[in-house]
Amino acid sequence: MLVTDGPGKTDTAFRTIGELSRETGLPQHILRYWETRFSQLRPLQRAGNRRYYRAEDAVLVRRIDTLLNREGYTVRGVQQLLAAEKTTSVAPDTSDPMIPALRAIRALLAQALVEDGRHI
């Protein structure tokens, strides 16, 4: 299921810096600054240096915002945390925000098959 955010945009659609700024409440200059501080945050840049944020970039921006502005981390602390997570990551598909939802759907389908008398 795709969730729309605004007119005609799905949650997997690319966002401009202005759109992401409005969604998160963060000023555009902060998003550009974070790109210089967090190597994991790399939006696509097209002609005229227009930034296009992928869904995973938007998730990362929200996470950085939470860590910095709500949990009291410093920029350096968030850098270290993200670097540590990158080195301890065991499953490459965990960065995709759809994976947990797809696994939950798979479990529900498997349970329905078991209840229906079929085994997978």
- d(C-alpha 42, C-alpha 52), whole Å: 9
Q: Which of 86, 102, 15, 80 is nearest to 50 (CA)?
A: 15
4 pLDDT above the threshold of 50: no
* Protein fold of 1-88: Multidrug-efflux Transporter Regulator; Chain: A; Domain 2 (1.10.1660)
Report yes or no: 24 and 61 within 8 Å, Cβ to Cβ.
yes
**Token code pair at residue 96:** 């995709």
What is the average pLDDT across 87-109?
A: 71
Report the pLDDT value the prediction gives residue 47, as an integer from 0 to 100: 85
Report the pLDDT value the prediction gives residue 94, as an integer from 0 to 100: 57
Show me where the domains of the chain are located.
Answer: 1-88, 91-120
41-96 pLDDT tens trace: 999 988 888 999 999 999 999 999 999 999 999 999 999 999 988 877 655 555 67
Stated pTM of the model: 0.65
Q: Which residues sit opposite 4 in a β-bridge?
A: 10
- List Cα–Cα distances, 28 to 16, 22, 32, in angstroms: 10, 9, 6
According to DSSP, residue 11 is labeled T
Report yes or no: 81 and 73 within 8 Å, Cβ to Cβ.
yes
